[in-house]
Amino acid sequence: MGATRQHAVVIGAGVGGLTAAIRLAGRGYRVTVVEQLDRPGGKMGEWRAAGFRFDTGPSVVTMRPVIERLFSEAGRHLEDYLDLAPLHPITRYHWRDGTVLDALQDEEAMCAEIARINPREVDGYRRFMRYVAELHRVVSRPFLYSRQPGWRDLLRLPLADALKIDALRTMHQAIRAHFRDPRLIQLFSRFATYNGSSPYRSPATLNVIAHVEMAQGAWYPRGGVYQIALALERLARELGVEVRYGSRVTKIETMNGKVSGVVLEDASRLSATVVVANADVSDVYRRLLDDGPAAQRGQRQAGQLEPSCSGFVMLLGVTRQTPRLAHHNIFFSDDYPAEFSAIFDQRIPPPNPTLYLCITGKTDPAHAPAGCENWFVLVNAPYLSPAYEWERNAETYAAHLKEVMRGWGLDAGDPAVERIYTPLQLQAMYGGNAGAIYGFSSNTRTAAFRRPSNRARDVRGLYFASGSAHPGGGVPLVMLSGMAASACVEEDMQAGRI
Ligand SMILES: Cc1cc2nc3c(=O)[nH]c(=O)nc-3n(C[C@H](O)[C@H](O)[C@H](O)COP(=O)(O)OP(=O)(O)OC[C@H]3O[C@@H](n4cnc5c(N)ncnc54)[C@H](O)[C@@H]3O)c2cc1C
């Protein structure tokens, strides 16, 4: 880089934006992050009230090596910023017939758990874990840890490996080839929701998520998942990144097909050689770029992709304790196909939803007053469409969910504090695409290839680092998106394209 440092503006201080900012600052760029909210983290947020503390977004953290890599590349030790505790059990699963199963990272311990509910499935589990480990070996490089794959990249793989990508079956079909017990089929199918997709539609390639969680483990940052946002912000500032909160970008300026800067809400302007959008790709093309051919092409491309599912969240400050619950709990609906059909076909919140209940207070007792618990309840919900009006129905759906919870013996009583987030509110808070919380769904075989890449096709100097770009949604993937975007910047800088 020349004597004057190139200026990079990052739009958004979400996990993807902060990751890109850290990488670029580490490579000598002058970086300004502009965030419309008054805090870092984007969807990774926190709410405190009356002695309760809640994470408002992500609660399950996997792929620890990705977080480690970001810090070590910046010359830091992750342990100096975050205390990541492994979770045992990873998740406690509950079914209507009274079965309770703890998902455990240790394979022998997990086999013992499976043997307890159905000894005939232990061999299937061992085979499944070998299958997903192999899947991870084959797909992690082309699909996760490098720039977006093209069909040609797949042709370069040895034939035996290419076949292992397993994109012709659905996730659910591949799981059924390993298990007969409907409970275990449901358990492993659930991983499709980690990027907001349906197990009945996504390619079996997504079974790689089972490897990431079951073999590599799930982590909890002590203090709450929000600590990750704070740690990223701290590292970014230490590297000289300027972070401006309460500041919205209203326009990305271009000159001769190349970015020249951004305009802020107060009409001030920041000039830049590089703009990294952590804002949703659809938003960038719809609202931030001038309505020319590039914006129209980008909108068309994004418009052809199905958004991921959204979520309906209830935060409940419960004034009692339920010892049978773990840190992460799943209460499965008894008709999983109907649940995904409601979400992706009818686009209505499922009447009979699977409940996810996270209680960080189980690991961090300080997150609720003595004798109380901080309940984060999440159900998968459809992305926004005319099929469901949240303005009118939110309270009714919340009441319905509490009824469903009571059916499981989960009585929140009269909570000391309570808050809900509907897909409509999530959309209003963070911007994005129809309230989708993981960018685009992986509900088709080609989704991984059609997802927006980290480099804008028609605007030089514009890059994407978010769940709506390669490699997709979820905290670790969004970090990889930030890393991939910064790698594209460097490639282009070296090639003299920007
Ligand atoms: C309820 C919920 C539960 C989830 N659970 C999990 C989980 O358990 N595990 C997991 O891995 N993932 C989970 N996720 C998904 C995960 O949170 C996201 O994939 C990830 O945080 C997205 O990060 P991002 O950087 O792409 O975008 P965001 O977090 O959306 O950040 C984008 C930022 O850009 C800002 N911005 C947008 N437009 C502008 C503008 N014009 N000017 C200035 N700023 C702008 C926004 O305010 C925002 O801060 C969950 C999400 C939600 C909402």
Q: Which domain holds residue 129?
A: 104-217
3-state secondary structure 351-362: CCCCEEEECHHH
Paired tokens of 230: 């704070």
Residue type, 139: V
Instruction: Supply 170's token pair.
Output: 């659905």
DSSP 422-455: -HHHHHHHH--STT-SSSB---STTHHHHS--SB
CB neighbour list of residue 7: distance below 8 Å, 6 or more residues apart: 29, 30, 31, 32, 270, 271, 272, 273, 274
According to the model, what pLDDT value does residue 29 have? Answer: 97
Q: Is residue 97 part of a domain?
A: no
247, 157: one domain? no
> What pLDDT sits at residue 2?
45
The residue whose CA is least distant from atom 5 of ligand 1 is 58
Same domain for 425 and 354, yes or no, is yes
- Which one-letter DSSP state was computed for residue 200? T
Regarding whether 317 and 295 lie in a shared domain, the answer is: no
Smallest CA-to-CA distance from 343 within 379, 313, 376, 314 is with 379
CA atoms within 13 A on the CB side of 30: 10
pLDDT for the residue numbered 448: 86
Strand order in the sheet with 269-271: 249-255, 258-264, 269-271
Q: Does residue 139 belong to any structural domain of this protein?
A: yes
The burial class, CB within 10 Å (0-12 / 13-18 / 19+), for 153 is: middle
Centre of ligand 1 from the C-alpha of residue 430, in Å: 7
Longest dimension (CA), the chain: 68
Asked if the structure places residue 68 within a domain, the reply is no
Tell me, rounded to whole angstroms, the distance of Cα 130 from its chain centroid. 25
d(CA 355, CA 366): 24
Q: Token pair of 273, please? A: 């050689």
Is 407 within a domain?
A: yes
Q: Please, which residues bridge with residue 377 across strands?
A: 314, 357
416 and 343 belong to one structural domain? yes
Q: Which pLDDT score, from 0 to 100, does residue 425 have?
A: 97
Sign of the C-alpha dihedral, residues 84, 324, 193, 167?
Answer: positive
Strands 91-94 and 328-331: parallel
Q: Are residues 115 and 203 in the same domain?
A: yes
Domain boundary among 199, 217, 235: 217
Q: Give me the half-sphere count of Cα atoms (radius 13 Å) on the Cβ side of residue 198.
A: 20
Q: Give residue 58 CA to ligand 1 midpoint distance, Å.
A: 9
Same domain, 120 and 192: yes
Q: Are 55 and 376 in contact (CB under 8 A)?
A: yes
Distance from the alpha carbon of residue 374 to the mean position of ligand 1, in angstroms: 22
Question: Model's pTM, two decimal places?
Answer: 0.97
Q: What is the pLDDT of residue 156?
A: 82
- Compute how many other C-beta atoms are within 10 angstroms of the C-beta atom of residue 196: 29
Give the DSSP per-residue string, 215-252.
IT--EEETT-THHHHHHHHHHHHHTT-EEE-S--EEEE
Is 95 inside any structural domain? no
**By alpha-carbon position, which residue is closest to atom 31 of ligand 1?**
14
Contact in structure between 53 and 46 (CB atoms under 8 Å)? yes
Query: Is the domain of 453 the same as that of 423?
Result: no
- Phi-psi region for residue 134, left (φ > 0), alpha (ψ -120 to 50) or beta? alpha
Helix (H, G, I), strand (E, B) or coil at 261: strand
Distance 126 CA to ligand 1 centre (A): 35
Determine, yes or no, domain membership for 324: yes
Contact 143, 470 (CB under 8 A): no
Nearest protein Cα to ligand 1, atom 6: 58
- pLDDT for residue 338: 98
Residue 422 is predicted with a pLDDT of 98
User: What is the Cα–Cα distance from 198 to 211, expressed in whole angstroms?
Assistant: 18
Does residue 61 lie in a domain region? no
Q: In a mutational test of the pocket of ligand 1, which residue from 437, 442, 454 has the highest number of ligand atoms less than 8 Å from its CB? A: 437
Domain assignment present for residue 88? The answer is no
Q: What backbone torsions phi and psi does residue 32 show, to the nearest 5 degrees?
A: -120, 125
Question: Which of 175, 194, 217 lies at the terminal end of a domain, its last residue?
Answer: 217
**Do 329 and 358 have their domain in common?**
yes
Task: Output the CA 110–ligand 1 centroid distance in Å.
Answer: 32
For ligand 1, atom 52, the nearest C-alpha belongs to 57
Q: Whose C-alpha lies nearest to ligand 1, atom 10?
A: 474
The answer on 151 and 130 residing in a single domain is: yes
Distance CA 233, CA 388 (A): 37
Q: Any idea what the CATH number is for the domain that residue 486 is in?
A: 3.50.50.60
Output the CA–CA distances (angstroms, integers) from residue 298 to 126, 135, 294, 302, in the order listed: 44, 32, 6, 6
- Shared domain for 424 and 455, answered yes or no, is no
What does residue 230 show for φ and ψ, rounded to 5 degrees? Answer: -65, -40
Number of domains in the chain: 3
Ligand 1, atom 19, residue with closest C-alpha: 474
Q: Look at residue 145 in the predicted model and tell me its pLDDT.
A: 85
By most ligand atoms within 8 Å of CB, the mutation choice from 39, 43, 228, 380 for ligand 1 is 43
Residue-level pLDDT at 141: 83
Q: How high is the mean pLDDT in each 10-residue block of the chain (498 residues)?
A: 79 98 97 98 98 98 97 98 97 98 98 98 98 95 81 82 92 98 98 97 97 97 98 98 98 97 98 98 96 94 96 98 98 98 98 98 98 98 98 97 97 97 97 96 92 95 98 97 97 94
| 315 and 413 in a common domain | yes
Last residue of a domain, one of 380, 400, 430: 430
The reply to whether 126 and 212 lie within a common domain is yes
Residue the block writes with tokens 């619950």:
325
CA distances from 20 to 76, 205, 232, 325 (A): 16, 27, 10, 37
Q: What pLDDT, on the 0 to 100 scale, is given for residue 114?
A: 98
Ligand 1 cavity residues, CB under 6 Å? 11-17, 34-37, 42-44, 57-60, 248-249, 278-279, 283, 311, 313, 378, 426, 430-431, 437-438, 466-467, 473-475, 478
Ligand 1, atom 45, lies closest to the CA of: 12
